[in-house]
Every structure is written in C-alpha cells, then in structure tokens.
Amino acid sequence: MAHRWGMAVDLDRCTGCGACVAACHAENNIPTVGPDQAGRGRAMHWLRVERYWEGDFPDVRLKFRPVMCQQCDAAPCEPVCPTYASHHTDEGLNAQVYNRCIGTRYCANACPYNVRFFEFFNPQWPKPLHLQLNPDVSVREVGVMEKCTFCVQRITAAEIDAKAGKRELKDGEIQTACAQSCAARALVFGDLNDPDSDVSRLSRSPRGSKLLEDLGTLPKVTYLDRQTQV
Amino acid sequence: MDRRDFIKLTAITGTSATLAGCGNPEHQLIRFVPDEDIVPGIAEWKPSVCPLCRAGCGVTVRVMDADVDTVRNGQAGVVAMSVAKKLEGQPAHPISQGGLCPRGQASIQVTYHPDRITHPLKRSGARGAGEFKEVTWDEAVAELVGQLDTLAAAGDQTSLTYLSRPRCSRRLALAAAFLEGFGAPAPIGFEPFSEDVLRRANAISFGHEQLPTPDIARSRFVIAFGADFLGTWNSPVAQNAAYGRMRQGQPQVRGKLVQVESRMSLTGANADEWVPVKPGTEGVLALGLAHVILANKLRPADAAGRAGAAIDGWAGGLADYTPAEVETITGVAAMRVERLARELIDFHPSVAIIGGAPLAHTNSLFHALAVNALNGLLGSVGEPGGIFFTPQAGPQPSALSPQPFDKLSAKVLLLDDVNPVFGAPKAWKVRETLEKVPFIASFGSFIDDTSVLADLILPDHSFLESWVDSTPESGSIEAVTTVAGPVMKPLYHTRATPDVLIELAGKLKAPVALPWKTAEEVAKSQPPGAARSSALREPQGTPSSSRGERLAPRKYSEPTFDGDAATYPFHFLPYASQAFADGSTAHLPWLQEMPDPLTSAMWSSWVELNPLTAERLKIAQGDLVDITSPYGVVRAPAVIFPGLAPDVVAMPVGQGHEHFTRYATGRGVNPIGILAPATDEETGALAWAATRVKIARAGDADGSLIMFAGEMREHPHGHETR
Amino acid sequence: MSDAPANRLSDDLLRPLLQTSWRFYALVAFLGSIVLMGLGTWAYQMYNGFGVTGINNPIFWAVYVTNFVFWIGISHAGMVITAILRLVNAGWRRPVTRCAEAITVFALMIGALFPLIHLGRPWLFFWLIPYPSSRQIWPNFRSPLVWDFFAISTYLTGSVLFLGLPMIPDFALVRDRTTGWRRRIYGGLALGWTGTPKQWHRLESAMSIMAIAILPVAISVHTVVSFDFSMAPVPMWHSTIFGPYFVAGAIFSGIAGLLIVTAALRKFLHLEEYVHPVHIQNLGKLLLLMSLLWAYFLFVERLTVWYGNESAEIAVLRVTQKGSFAPLYWTMVVCNFVMPFSILSLKKLRTITGCVIASCGVLIGMWLERFLIVVPSLGHKYLPYTWGTYRPRPVEILITISTFAALVLLYTLFVKFVPIISIWELRAAEHPSPALLPAAAREQALGETQA
C-alpha cells in the first residue's frame, strides 16, 4: 500500500523552544534574509511557531502552535498554479517543483495557512557558510515559491534505501528535521496509511483537531490540544 | 610512486578547468587532492558535544563532502573535504536524548562563520581599535612564551590570570594544571547568569555544590520559581525531553506545571498556572507552601533534614509564613497558597525548582534555601520525580569573588572564550580594568567586546574540528561523560587550545610538566576519583569548612533594590534570551533571524512593557523607549507584553555587542550594561534583578523592531463588543 | 446648427494626421521618456530580483495586480459604449466610438503587460501558452490565471478587430486624400476599400457580428479576472458577488476613462463641433448610473459581510473601514460615489468640466477600490499571527506612472495616424450633431454615403 505521509503535533508537549525552526533552516538550505528584508516581511520560516496571548495580566496565558505546510489533500494552492509547480504526489505530499514555478504567487494567496514563501532575491551565503548547505536539497533561485516539503529528501532517501534492501520502511525510520530535533517529542511524522504508526495513533486522539478544518482543505497535520488540568 | 602520488603530482603542478563553456582562464580552479578518503554524496555520522552551554548535549554530526576554498603552497584552489552538514541530538545520549535546542542546531554556524578568525593575530593598532595583522603560529607561541618567561623571571607568576567560560570539561583541568605548575592562581570562571547562588544553597542544604537535576519526567507536579528550564536554564534539552514525558509520556498521568515569576518566561508560557509574584519574595512563597503543609501535618517537619534546619523558624512550623503574611509580602493570594500547598501533596511526586531572577536579588540565597527546604519537606530529594544531583568527580570552577575584576592585578591575562566586557555591568568597569593589563592573549575564534582588547590572538579550532569532552554537573541522574574526536579537519590555520597550552608549557624556560601530550589525551583523560555509581555522592567534608559559611538559619529579609522607588519606579528584569542566552551566540545568523518565542522579534533589542503601563505612558508598540537606571541608559523599541506586572520592565540579553562579527556588531543594546553592581548579601553574586529603572518615551518607531508575527492574539477583537 | 460641408468634416478630422506641430513632438518625447523610464525600471526589477518591490509575506499581490485589474477594467470602455450603444442604435455614440475602442485596445495591451511584470520569473511567461512543450505538460487549465490568458487574448483579438474594421473606410479616405508615402501606407491599410455597396454591406455585417460577439467576451474577461480572486479561499475574496461587481466596476471606470479622453481630445484637437457637450453629458449620465450601481454592489457586499459576522471577514472589513486602510477606503467612497453623485445628478453641475472632474475622481476611486480588494484581504487571512502590512516601493510607483504615460503616448500616436472620429460614421448620419431625433431615424440607411 502506498504511503500517505502526515504529522501530528502535540501541543501539550510543545514548549515553543524553536529548535524545530532552526533545524528546518539547517536541513533545507533556507536563506537567512537579514534584518532589512526581515523587517520588510520576507523572513522565510518554513516552519514557524505561532504564539498567541490570551487574557490580561495577571490571568494571562500564552499558547504555541508550530505551523508548517499542512500537505492538504484538497490543497487550494494546487488548482491555481498555472504551471503545475504546486501539485499533489501519490504519497499525499504537496510537491513544489521549483523548476516549473514562474512566480505568480497565486499559491501563496490561496494558502490559508500562509506557509508558502517566495525567493525575493537570489540567496547569498557568505563563504564559508555555503559549506553547510545540504546537497540533497535544491537551492532555490530568485522568483520561485518554496515551502515545507515534509523533508521529502529524507523520505526519498529512506524509500530508496528500503527498496535497495528489499524491506519495508519502519515507523520512525523517517524523521523530518523538525521532529528529529524536538526534545519534547512534540512533532511526530509518519505514514497515515499504517494504522499502527505513531502518527496514525495520535491522529485518532480525542484531543486531535485540524487547523482551519472548516475550510475543507483536508490538512494532514493533526494538532493535539493542550490538556487542561483537572 | 603509486597512483595516489602520481595524481597528487599532476594535480599540484597542473590545472583543470572546472567551469565548462566559459573558456575564461580566470575561472580555472586548482583542485587539490583530498587528504582523506571521501566517497562523494555519502553521509557519515560522527559524534560530538555541543559546547554552547554547560549542558553538554551529545550530538551526532552529518558529515559529507564539499569543496572547500583553501590555499596551499601559496596557491588558491579547492579541495574536497568531509565537512559537517547538520547536527542532531544523539538518540541514546542521556542529556540530549535525540533532541537539541535551537542554539545547538545553530552551533554549526560557528565553524562556518564568515568572520571566524583563521590565523593567529597580533595587535597592530591601538588597543581596542580592532586592528590586527596575521602572524605565524611559531611567532604567536614564541610571544606568549616570552611573556610568561618574563613573569617567571620577575617572580611574578601569580600575575598570570586565566579567565574562562566555565566549562564542565577536562580542558579546564588542563588549564588548572598548567597554572598550578606555573605558580599562578587557579582559573577564574565568568559567565553572566552563573547560578552560583544555587550551587551554594545546594551545598548548604544537601551537600552538593552543583546545579540540581530535577526529575521532571516522573514528576506529577512541578513548581518552578523563576527557572526558565524549558528555555535557557540549567540543562534545557534534557528538561524539554523530560517535560514532554511529564505531559504525555505516561498513560492516564499528566504532570502539572506551576510557574512562579515576575515576567512570563518561555517556561511560564507552558505552565498550567502562572503565578506572578513580587520580585525578591519568591522564597517567602516557598516557605508559605511549606507552612501550610506543616500546619496541616501533611508531611513531618524533620523530613526536610538539613535543608529545613537552614531556615529560621522551621522547627516552629514557620510561624512567620502564614498564607496571609505571604500574601502581604509576595502578592500571591492566601487561598492560592493554601491550594498550591495541598496540590503539592496531592499530586505526588512533586518537586520545586528555583533559578533565574529569584536568585539574582540581594537576598537570593534565602530564596534558594527556602525552595531547597520545601523539596526536603516534600521528600523529593533523590526520589523519582524529585531532585537529583548528577554524580560528580570534583568541584566546578566558579567565579571566585563578587567582583573578580576590580581585584584583577594580572600582568598577563589569558582569555578562553569569555566576554566579561559584555557580560558584566558597566559599573564594574571591566573594560577599564582590562585595559590596564599589560598583556592580553585570547584563544577565542571571534573578535568580540573583550577579545578586541587582546594583544595576541591564538584562535582555537571550532568544536567540530576538536577533541571535545563534557562531564556535565546536571541534566542526568547518572554520571555522564562524553568524549568525541573532531568530525572534520580544520578549515583554517587554527590550533586546538589544549595543544597550544601543552606546547606553551613545554617551551617555557622553566617548563611545566603536564600529564598530557595532546588535546586528545586531555579529552580522554579521567579526573581523579571520578564517580562511577549512580548513588548520590556523599558530601566531602562539611559545607562550612571551605568557605567559612555561617550555618545559622536564614530568615527572610526584604530585597534591596538599587534606585529609589520614587525616581525609578520600575523593577528591571534582564533575562537570558532564547536565541542568545547570555549573548554568546548573537553572532550566529540563524539565531538572529529566529523569531523570539514570546515576542516574535528578530534581529532586534526590545523593552517589554505591561499593556496598561504602555497605555499610561502613551507608548505604542515599536516606539523608542529610554530605560534609565542609576548607572546608565539604554534605548530600545517597546513591545507590549501582557505577561508582566505593571511595575516591571524586562529586556532580553544578547544584543548590544560593540564587536561581535557582522551579524551582531552594533546591533541593539545590552541591558547588562546598566545594571547596578548590587550583589547577593551572602555569596556576593551579581544581583542582576535588583536594579530599578525609569522609563521615558524617546521617539516614534524607527524600524529597529523587527517582528515576524502580525497580531499577538488569535482573536484580536475578542475584547471588543459591537 | 448648420451642416458642416462634408469636406470640412474630412478636413477637420484629417488635420491631425496631416499637420504636426512641435507640441506633438514635445509631448511624444516627454511621454516617451516616462515610458522608457518605466521599461528601465522593469528591467531593473528583473535584474535585481522581485524583492525590490514592496511585496512581502503575506501580501504577495499588490500594486501590479491592482494595475492589472484596473487597466483591464478601463478597457471595458470601448466594449460597452460601442457595442451596447451600437446595438441600441444610440446615435450620439458616433463621435466617441473610435475613442472608446482605442482606449479598449491600448488599455488591454497595458493591462496584459502586468501579469508579466508581476511574475517572479517573467522570462518564462510563455509557459502559460498552451503549446506542445518538451516538458510534456500543458498549462494547468484549472488555474484562473490560465483562464486569464485565454480571456484576455480573445478580448484583445476581438477588440483589435472591432477597432480595426471601422477604420478601413477612413483609411481609404486618407489614401484618397494624400500622396506619397502616406498614400502608400494608408492604401495598404485600407485593404483595397473602394466603397462599393457590397463592401459596405460586408463591413456592416462584420461589425454587427462583432458588436454582439464582443459583449459576452468583454463580460467574461472581467469575470475571469475576478475569478483570480474569488477562486481563492481568502476572506472577502471568496464571494459570489465578484463577477458582477468587477464587471460593473470595469464599465464604471471605463466610462470615466472614456469621458476624460473624449473631453481631452475635444479640447486639444479642436473637435468642438463634432463632440458636443451633450455627448459628454450623456456619458456623464451613464457614469452616474454606474456610480449608483457600484454603490449598490459595495453596500450589498459589506452588509452581507458585516451581518454574517464571520471572524476572518470581519477582520478585513474592520481594517478597511476603521483600521489602517480607512483613509483609502473613505477616499474611495467619496471619489466613486459621493462626488460623482453630487456633480452628475445636478444638471447645473453636469457640465463638461464637472463631468471630467467626476471622472477623474472615479478613476482614482476605482484604482483604490482594486487596491483595497487585493491588499487588505491578503494581509488579514485566517491566522492572525501571519497578518502583515504593505507599502508600495518606488519601482511599483514608477511603473504605474509609466503605464499612464504609455496610454497617453499610445493615444497620441494613434491620433496622429488615425482619424479619431470615425469620419464615415459621422457622415452617414448626415449630421454631426446627434441631438435631433430625425437623424436617428436616418441611421437605418447606414450604407449610404453622402456627397
């Protein structure tokens, strides 16, 4: 049976530390845009940890929510791309084909989660920071859109490995960079078509819900609410 | 001649065009033969230890081939090298447990930083001007040898000072041995947010002069006083891992977190209950909880043992700490005190943690002792879900005296990755003191606020290019030592500082005998009497012996704040930021661009203001604000921050470097600079939470506040009615 | 009203073609330099990267897309006026038909440029064209942007035809009246027109077909443009009102544009005898009608959103009406409704000047309306953490300005080479003034030439 990749985010475990954000930058060759461009709203955090205040002092609370591309099964970004740069793969991922993208940015408008980012300039890595670049991930040029891919390079590498070794992939064998770096184990990645996988199990949790579910995008990330103490 | 030599010969003498189609001879690159066996495109994973804080997280590094620009025999070219690509936590490591913190992930940028020092440097301009010229290693070592020989000849060996970032590694043992052999005093450790008060309290209460390891994973109730244990305090990665398990790691059991602090930290943001408290009164709350437990006979008083005896009135049931009294002093409602105390008992096992701002007042030791007593009372010491102490081999170096700098009479100062010019209040006049030191040498990899004053720079390898070891003082119930070799060859003409020290020792006129010959030997060596068992080590000697401490029980005395309340109406709370901790990682671009978890600010300094305060002072988000203490003023944009009492103002630490690479130089302001030189009465540690300030609006937003987030609330207009 | 002799008509209307003053060259030079500056700015943008604009995350579309919609909207001037008025045989249309059709073609050309300007990799725009490519994929026909491509290219083709066909008899006239190179060029353009009844009949049939055909094409063009927005799940974009709203707005801005152009041509080409105040005033009445219609759409849209109280949409409503966009929003309301209504509903104020002022206001207001549709919604989608703001940067402003200059430049050149008022149509009515009803009756005999 084909894989169907999904994630679960346990908001009761997430502490908002941001290790996942840094790990994603390191894994996916995301450019650091610098203070001027960040000030103009061009920072490219494929994964971000949203934070919302609730209440007022002294009854004030804060909540954290890591948001990445939800790899929607009914992704609004896919029909609107004129060149099929944004399209759905057989394994349920929303793939962004950089070579096809001509930069209309319609997909970014259509995405209700605002998880799509645009290369406003050709990225620069002052030497020798370029040595850190991950050779398994493209470096995107100016004018194309990009976003979280569920670390498709890791998925592909693991699938090739499993195929070469004539074996099945095990649950937990593939970890996205964010999930791997999370000390609290708040992020879980896996195969939703495997009912015994951690992610499937967590997706069935009564605490689980989807982000902006009522828009009908069919996202594949399940958020487990923070539990309240009895 | 074998094939390899043949290829080497042809490669060095010949050239090969690497850019096809251009035909431009300038683009022909010399490709040198690699020094190691490289299989292109295949990754290896090698172990190392992250050195950015004392937690000592074991990492595994993905190493792959890359083309590195290099110069050989005077010719520029490229060579294929195995280089580090990414760090991950080692899954089986007791501290990191497979995870990392954002600083750990970003630490790889230390190795590849474009402003890293690549050669030994000698000062060529005025001190502090930042002008250096490259010298060879032989010249650099010879100069340092000369300086030390001069000291020895004059009988001035005690004028050699070694100032280091406190490390839990054998490197410090090497430094200590070298200094001892030379006749100089022991190394001095300096870092902002050093938590020495807690170590002292733990020595008094439990006989362990070290930071504790709270067993959060198995705890059902954690009450933390000011300790940002999910952010930067103590051993954050291990604590994050434990927190995840506390919450959802056991079926049907979910631990509760209560955070008591004056400014909502990252940890406080995750708490089930956030309890704001008046600054400098946290220990009173702890004793209030103990009082309720004792008054209702929920636990026997003598359970607290020595920790209880350190508190005045313990035997009498803490009569001074009734809930009503606690409410008056701390501002926490009496009913809440009662309820929390009962929950501490009902949700068993429970543990109390203290760190951060409560231990940065003039009465800090009391707060630490109070929380220790509470832990003792709860029976959490050494019990699952409670407080442990990682078995240690020996004492850790710590700041020797309250102001190690005004007594600094060094003639030769060696700096090992330490930045006191940045990390100490200006009132301590560190810069002025250092400027008077005749000779300063630095081993760090970067020019920063302190190393810019150096006369000689002998750059260390980055940790990925070095033998590294770590024996952390906390973060694990069992003793942990991690030793790892370099994961890649050095990129530049740097040398491992342990190797340099060893060479130095050997080249002195009166050589110092050292038991190690190489950095590798140092890293792999074990300290004498290293603990192997997982049982708590028995305290060596009585706690009062080494420092002549009073064993007299402490009682609460009001904290003293520098600055009178009329002129300076606000409490000032600098805090270790998630991105930069104490400022030592401000040079890493990923961390500059990472949105701060609570404010989403990037590349910025800011001042956090309570919304009502801001409204009252007519300060909008982004407006520039002057924060003035009796010792100085800093200007930064304002951020509206609901997690603060109206009379508290907070600022993150990390920015405000005058020198620290292109990414941090001249960026933002450093709140440490304006702190009062107040100290804890008993230990002399810097009381960095004891400064009062006044606020004045200084101007409209100037774009220096860069935030990633749009809105701060999910329902921005939820307050309004139509 | 006296009849101008047929020759005088031709003389007046051919004068711009045959006589050129220094003012023409000065104007062309001036406009040309602005247009060149615009092209240079675009080249600068392509060379340095799209980041030189003010676009950011989350506001990925702003001034360029606003301009795109605005210009496509202006282009509805021609279609509506000439097609509708031609179909209902409104005689007073005659002096303005070619004006309007020319505006259509030029505005379309300019408008169609903006999807290229706003691309991240504009050198690959041709991937929108459905040709069998070596990449073995067609354009994504589900994408409204591809629909845009078809709709606009169809409309452009149709408009060029609709503009070009009636020019043939006039080209023949110029050919007959001139010598030398002009005779050769206009002779070529006239396609061998000799004015036989058969040719007239064919011309009239073609124009009738085009008049009917162009109407649905034009309506569909702006509907398809509106689909760029309404097909995306963005608060206050995803609304069924967008199709009719955009078409109404397009007609509205088209009429305003046409009115200004007509009044300008009347003044600068001394066409007072052919374009009478009543022509402008009738356009003004149409403008008033569209203003009321526009206001109706605005009211219905906003009332529905406000009443529905869906939180994401309310956020957008709030920020446009009360928040940071409020100054622009209320300016738009004044420019699009309050001012035109006040001026155009009072006969005393409905002079040429008054109408022109009202039209200028409408152009400003309609540009703002497009901007306020695009930007606030993108800046306030479903997750408040991602909300953002936008400010145009110099490249966007310069390119916008240069497109206005481009329109005027194209128009100036057009007026130099083509009679701006369709001579044969005027003649066919026998009378330059359309005010008299009997003249309308005579239009049935459209095929006859008059001596």
Q: Kindly state whether residue C235 falls inside one of the protein's structural domains.
A: yes
Q: Kindly state whether residue C153 falls inside one of the protein's structural domains.
A: yes
Locate tokens 């003039």: which residue?
Answer: B362
* pLDDT band (50, 70, 90) for residue B2: low
Alpha carbons C402 and C38: distance in angstroms, whole number: 5
Give which of A42, A53, A67, A102 to mutate to test C binding, by max C Cβ within 10 Å. Answer: A102
- The per-residue DSSP string of B45-93 comes to EEEEE--SSTT--EEEEEEEEEEEEEEETTEEEEEEEEEEEEEEE-TT-
Cβ-contact A208, A223 below 8 angstroms: yes
For chain C, the chains sharing at least 3 beta-carbon pairs closer than 8 angstroms are A, B
Which residue in B219, B221, B223 sits closest to B346, CA to CA? B221
| Chain C residues in contact with B715 (beta carbon < 8 A) | 311, 384
* pLDDT band (50, 70, 90) for residue B395: low
Alpha carbons C220 and C53: distance in angstroms, whole number: 31
CATH architecture for the domain at B197-388: 3-Layer(aba) Sandwich (3.40)
* pLDDT band (50, 70, 90) for residue B545: very low
**In terms of C-beta density within 10 A (0-12 exposed, 13-18 middle, 19 or more buried), how is residue B129 classed?**
exposed
Alpha carbons A80 and C238: distance in angstroms, whole number: 14
Cβ-contact B539, B208 below 8 angstroms: yes
Alpha carbons C312 and C319: distance in angstroms, whole number: 11
- A128-181: per-residue pLDDT in tens? 999 999 999 999 999 999 999 999 999 999 999 999 999 999 999 999 999 999
- B39-87: per-residue pLDDT in tens? 888 999 999 999 999 999 999 999 999 999 988 778 888 999 999 999 9
Cβ-contact A202, A179 below 8 angstroms: no
Whether the pLDDT of residue B513 is over 50: the answer is yes
Q: Kindly state whether residue C202 falls inside one of the protein's structural domains.
A: yes
Alpha carbons B91 and B47: distance in angstroms, whole number: 11
- B335-392: per-residue pLDDT in tens? 999 999 999 999 999 999 999 999 999 999 999 999 999 999 999 999 999 999 999 8
**Span B222-234, mean pLDDT?**
97
| Chain C residues in contact with B709 (beta carbon < 8 A) | 385-386
First to last CA, chain B: 89
Residue B714 contacts C, CB cutoff 8 Å: yes
Given this model, what pLDDT does residue B544 score?
36
**Phi, psi dihedrals of residue B254, rounded to the nearest 5°:** -135, 120
Residue A98 contacts C, CB cutoff 8 Å: no
Locate tokens 């450093």: which residue?
Answer: B670
**Phi, psi dihedrals of residue C341, rounded to the nearest 5°:** -60, -45
Alpha carbons C103 and B219: distance in angstroms, whole number: 76
| Chain C residues in contact with A67 (beta carbon < 8 A) | 383, 385
CB atoms within 10 A of CB C187: 17
Given this model, what pLDDT does residue C87 score?
73
Write the single-letter amino acid at C24: F
The domains located in chain A, with CATH, are 5-224 (3.30.70.20)
Task: Say if strands B16-17 and B28-29 run parallel, antiparallel, or are unpaired.
Answer: antiparallel
| Chain A residues in contact with C61 (beta carbon < 8 A) | 105, 109
Instruction: Output A74-79 pairs: Cβ under 8 A, ≥24 positions apart.
Output: A74/A216, A74/A217, A74/A218, A75/A111, A75/A217, A76/A110, A76/A111, A76/A112, A76/A215, A76/A217, A76/C232, A76/C233, A77/A106, A77/A107, A77/A108, A77/A110, A77/A111, A77/A116, A78/A107, A79/C140, A79/C142, A79/C143, A79/C231
Give residue C263's domain range.
12-130+139-445
Given this model, what pLDDT does residue B330 score?
96
CATH of the domain at C338: 1.20.1630.10
Report angle CA A198, A204, A205 to the nearest 5 degrees: 90
b vs e for B282-296, b when ≥16 Cβ sit within 10 Å of the residue's Cβ? bbbbbbbbbbbbbbe
b vs e for B440-466, b when ≥16 Cβ sit within 10 Å of the residue's Cβ? bbbbbbbbbbbbbbbbbbbbbbbbbbb
Name residue B48's beta-bridge partners.
Answer: B59
| Chain B residues in contact with A18 (beta carbon < 8 A) | 102, 578-579, 594-595, 597
Tally B–C CB contacts below 8 A: 23
Alpha carbons C182 and C185: distance in angstroms, whole number: 5
Record the tokens describing residue B553, joined without a space: 């029980």
Q: Which of A35, A51, A182 sits opposite B598 (nearest CB)?
A: A51
Record the tokens describing residue C103, joined without a space: 């505006």
* pLDDT band (50, 70, 90) for residue B721: very low
Q: Quick one: fold of B121-192+398-524?
A: Rossmann fold (3.40.50)
b vs e for C235-265, b when ≥16 Cβ sit within 10 Å of the residue's Cβ? bbbbbebbbbbbbbbbbbbbbbbbbbbbbeb
Record the tokens describing residue C107, joined without a space: 């505005």
Peptide bond into A58 cis (omega under 30): yes
- B705-717: per-residue pLDDT in tens? 999 998 888 887 6
Locate tokens 């959103």: which residue?
Answer: C305
Tell which C residues from 40 to 79 touch A, by Cβ distance under 8 Å. 48-51, 54-61
Alpha carbons B519 and B498: distance in angstroms, whole number: 5
Alpha carbons A79 and A67: distance in angstroms, whole number: 22
Peptide bond into B279 cis (omega under 30): no
Q: Kindly state whether residue C190 falls inside one of the protein's structural domains.
A: yes
Cβ-contact A151, A177 below 8 angstroms: yes
CB atoms within 10 A of CB B253: 12
Locate tokens 């609004």: which residue?
Answer: A76
Alpha carbons A73 and A92: distance in angstroms, whole number: 7
pLDDT, averaged across chain A: 96
**Phi, psi dihedrals of residue B45, rounded to the nearest 5°:** -120, 125
- B128-169: per-residue pLDDT in tens? 999 999 999 999 999 999 999 999 999 999 999 999 988 888
Record the tokens describing residue C354, joined without a space: 């008054």
Residue with the bigger pLDDT between B9 and C28: it is C28
Alpha carbons B214 and B387: distance in angstroms, whole number: 4
Cβ-contact C48, A121 below 8 angstroms: yes
* pLDDT band (50, 70, 90) for residue B34: confident
Cβ-contact B237, B59 below 8 angstroms: no
Alpha carbons B359 and B197: distance in angstroms, whole number: 6
* pLDDT band (50, 70, 90) for residue B299: very high
- B166-210: per-residue pLDDT in tens? 888 899 999 999 999 999 998 988 888 989 999 999 999 999 999
Locate tokens 């109070």: which residue?
Answer: B370
Whether the pLDDT of residue B665 is over 60: the answer is yes
Counted domains in chain C: 1
Share of chain B above pLDDT 70, in %: 90
Alpha carbons B273 and B256: distance in angstroms, whole number: 8
Is the four-CA dihedral B415, B417, B422, B423 of positive or negative sign? Answer: negative
Alpha carbons B408 and B7: distance in angstroms, whole number: 57
Q: Quick one: fold of B3-111?
A: N-terminal domain of TfIIb (2.20.25)
Q: How many residues does chain A have?
A: 230
In this prediction, the residues of chain C whose per-residue pLDDT falls under 50 are 1-3, 431-451
Task: Say if strands B350-354 and B221-225 run parallel, antiparallel, or are unpaired.
Answer: parallel
Alpha carbons B377 and B186: distance in angstroms, whole number: 38
Contacts of C168 (CB under 8 A, 6+ apart): C189, C190, C191, C193, C203
pLDDT, averaged across chain B: 89
- The per-residue DSSP string of C159-187 comes to HHHHHHTTHHHHHHHHHHH--HHHHHHHH
- B583-640: per-residue pLDDT in tens? 999 999 999 999 999 999 999 999 999 999 999 999 999 999 999 999 999 999 999 9
Whether the pLDDT of residue A78 is over 90: the answer is yes
- E strand or H helix that includes residue B106: helix B102-106
Q: Kindly state whether residue C2 falls inside one of the protein's structural domains.
A: no
For chain B, the chains sharing at least 3 beta-carbon pairs closer than 8 angstroms are A, C
Cβ-contact C12, C274 below 8 angstroms: yes
Alpha carbons A162 and C208: distance in angstroms, whole number: 69
Record the tokens describing residue B337, joined without a space: 């005190």
Residue A43 contacts C, CB cutoff 8 Å: yes
CB atoms within 10 A of CB C142: 14
Name which CATH class applies to B570-707: mainly beta
CB contact under 8 A, A51 and B89: no
- The per-residue DSSP string of C365-410 comes to HHHHHHHHHHHHHHHS-S-GGG-------HHHHHHHHHHHHHHHHH
Name residue B518's beta-bridge partners.
Answer: none
CB contact under 8 A, B592 and A54: no
Contacts of B261 (CB under 8 A, 6+ apart): B224, B225, B226, B268, B274, B275, B276, B277, B282, B356, B357, B358
Residue C134 contacts A, CB cutoff 8 Å: no
Is the four-CA dihedral B329, B334, B340, B344 of positive or negative sign? Answer: positive
Name residue B683's beta-bridge partners.
Answer: none
| Chain A residues in contact with B109 (beta carbon < 8 A) | 129, 132
Domain ranges (residues) in chain B: 3-111, 121-192+398-524, 197-388, 570-707
